[in-house]
Amino acid sequence: MATPPELDPVRTAVALSTALSRLRSRLRLEGGTFETGLTITQLSTLQRVIDNGPVAGAALAQAEHIRPQSMWEIIAVLVKEGLVDRRPDPSDGRKVLVAATRKGEQLVDQVLTSREAWLTRALTDLIDESEHRVLDEAVGLLNRLVEYEP
């Protein structure tokens, strides 16, 4: 029996990045994301606004790991599409909070339902119980990677 290759962080990083990019593209396709005309970052921002209630743009930028200026560009698109609105922060009138509209909530529900249905079918049809457990553990590892700050 051949010995397994040595662990190579570079090879793993490239393979992981490629697999995640392909999965992200497939989820966009299956979720109807292309039809929304929004980018993944715009949809992710909208989801974060829905999850966290009215939130400041700076907090959104930090959570999405992008520059504040880029976040305000995303917010402007979401406002133009009627998916979020801006309102003054009740605790500090100089600040602006972003809140989802009903239209924004409905759009996210539609996309999530479609892509999660596809992913659930794929998991059910393609993997066995032991692989499912590995994926559950991998989700935790992926979330740790996302939060890593060197």
- The answer to pTM > 0.85 is no
Dihedral of the alpha carbons of 20, 25, 30, 34, in degrees to the nearest 10 = 150
Residue range 36-147 forms a domain whose CATH class is: mainly alpha
The string of pLDDT tens digits covering residues 67-115 is: 999 999 999 999 999 999 999 988 887 889 999 999 999 999 988 888 8
SS3 65: coil
Give the span between the Cα atoms of 16 and 20, in whole angstroms.
6
